[in-house]
Amino acid sequence: MIKKIKEIQKEASGFQAVKLQDIEDFRIKYLGKNGLIPTLFGELKNLSKTEKKRFGGNINLLKSIVLDIIQKNKKELSEEEKKSEEMDFTLPGYSWELGARHPISKVKNKIVKIFERIGFLLCKGPEIEDDWHNFTALNFPEQHPAREMQDTFFIEKNTDILLRTHTSSVQIRYMKNNPPPIRIISNGRVYRNEVISSHSHCMFHQIEGLFVDKGVSFADLKQTIQYLKHSIFVNSKIRVRPSYFPFTAPSAEIDIQLSSNGPWLEVLGCGLVNPKVLKNVGIDPEVYSGFAFGIGIERIALLLYQINDIRLYFDNDLRFLPQFRSE
Ligand code: PHE
């Protein structure tokens, strides 16, 4: 008898309910009318008085153990239930932290939109160029110091394949394949072998503009630049400073001043397309004229976001980039 009681106790102790019905089944199995414990009590009938006393006590102990097991399982199940009730699946979840556009992209997008509003078409050119598109067709004479204005990275020694030093090469590519009227902008990375410092880098971004049609004059160029300035820096001043580029004549540099006593910062080069360049791409300079400009995106972003070090753009520092999340 004692062995039987021990076995039943051992089995009962391993019980673990997964759902309420398990507890009920367990209860019936042990305590139900024909359950294991009442059957044990029934068996006492045939025993002697002392045995009855002894085993009766053991069976009662078993009963209270079984009752404890039932209580314990009930408690655990109701706690589980409470937990799942506490979870409200209809609540909005935590959102991912949003990324931010890079300040260079933001300025680029802004300028592209400004020019698209007045009918300029966005087009692309390669970053790996040949000497002809980057220099020769743009009227940089062979062996001329003008080439040294832009210190060049060559892809391989003694070849004419290079990383473009400016986006003006896109002017050539477009004019060669499309007759006037032409009204395009193009943006992208350009490369120059320069010492990296707070105000210059070996890689930066430009937006090139080109307008070729009959009767295009310097007045058109100035007005377009004025429109650009108004669209980005409402209360600023611009200054047109004579300059030199082999592919424009006359050429100018545009400086911008944000506040009346503030410094002037050079932001773009421009000019009327040199007739020699038009000839190089098969456009008759007697019939057509044009203007072109090249904007330094980093410079505009420096002004717009008051950034004081050009290297910050390329460091990928997560203390810097998320600041441009708004807008
Ligand atoms: N390509 C010139 C530069 O990188 C800028 C420029 C573009 C000047 C178009 C005139 C016309 O400095």
pLDDT at 274: 98
Query: In which band, very low, low, confident or very high, does the pLDDT at 146 lie, cut at 50, 70 and 90?
Result: low
Cα–Cα distance list, 324 to 94, 99, 231 (Å): 22, 9, 20
Q: How many CB atoms are closer than 10 A to CB 48?
A: 8
Ligand 1 mean position, distance from CA 253 (Å): 9
Mean pLDDT of 166-179: 97
Q: Which of 245, 266, 272, 297 to mutate to test the pocket of ligand 1 (most atoms within 8 A of CB)?
A: 245
CA-269 nearest atom, ligand 1: 8
Q: How far apart are CA 73 and CA 210, in angstroms?
A: 81
Degrees, nearest 5: CA angle 145-147-151: 115
pLDDT at 2: 84
Does 84 score more than 80 pLDDT?
no
CA-251 nearest atom, ligand 1: 10
Query: In which band, very low, low, confident or very high, does the pLDDT at 322 lie, cut at 50, 70 and 90?
Result: confident
Answer yes or no: is the C-beta of 207 below 6 A from any ligand 1 atom. Answer: no
Between 261 and 147, where is the model more confident? 261
Strand order in the sheet with 248-257: 121-122, 182-191, 203-213, 289-296, 265-273, 248-257, 237-245
pLDDT at 74: 92
Does 117 score more than 80 pLDDT?
yes
Ligand 1 mean position, distance from CA 231 (Å): 21
CA-149 nearest atom, ligand 1: 12
CA-293 nearest atom, ligand 1: 9
Phi, psi at 316, each rounded to 5°: 55, 40
Answer yes or no: is the C-beta of 269 below 6 A from any ligand 1 atom. Answer: yes
Between 146 and 169, where is the model more confident? 169
Ligand 1 mean position, distance from CA 100 (Å): 30
Given a contact cutoff of 8 angstroms between Cβ atoms, the answer to whether 150 and 165 are in contact is yes
User: Residue of the nearest CA to atom 4 in ligand 1?
Assistant: 166
pTM (two decimals):
0.71
Ligand 1 mean position, distance from CA 120 (Å): 18
Phi, psi at 320, each rounded to 5°: -90, -50
Does 129 score more than 70 pLDDT?
yes
pLDDT at 168: 97
Given a contact cutoff of 8 angstroms between Cβ atoms, the answer to whether 236 and 254 are in contact is no
In the predicted model, what is the mean pLDDT of the chain?
91
Q: Which of 150, 151, 165, 168 to mutate to test the pocket of ligand 1 (most atoms within 8 A of CB)?
A: 168
Answer yes or no: is the C-beta of 166 below 6 A from any ligand 1 atom. Answer: yes
Ligand 1 mean position, distance from CA 169 (Å): 10
Q: Which position has the token pair 């080069």?
A: 269
Answer yes or no: is the C-beta of 8 below 6 A from any ligand 1 atom. Answer: no
Given a contact cutoff of 8 angstroms between Cβ atoms, the answer to whether 290 and 272 are in contact is yes
Q: Which of 166, 203, 291 to mutate to test the pocket of ligand 1 (most atoms within 8 A of CB)?
A: 166
Given a contact cutoff of 8 angstroms between Cβ atoms, the answer to whether 296 and 207 are in contact is no
CA-270 nearest atom, ligand 1: 10
Q: How far apart are CA 273 and CA 130, in angstroms?
A: 21
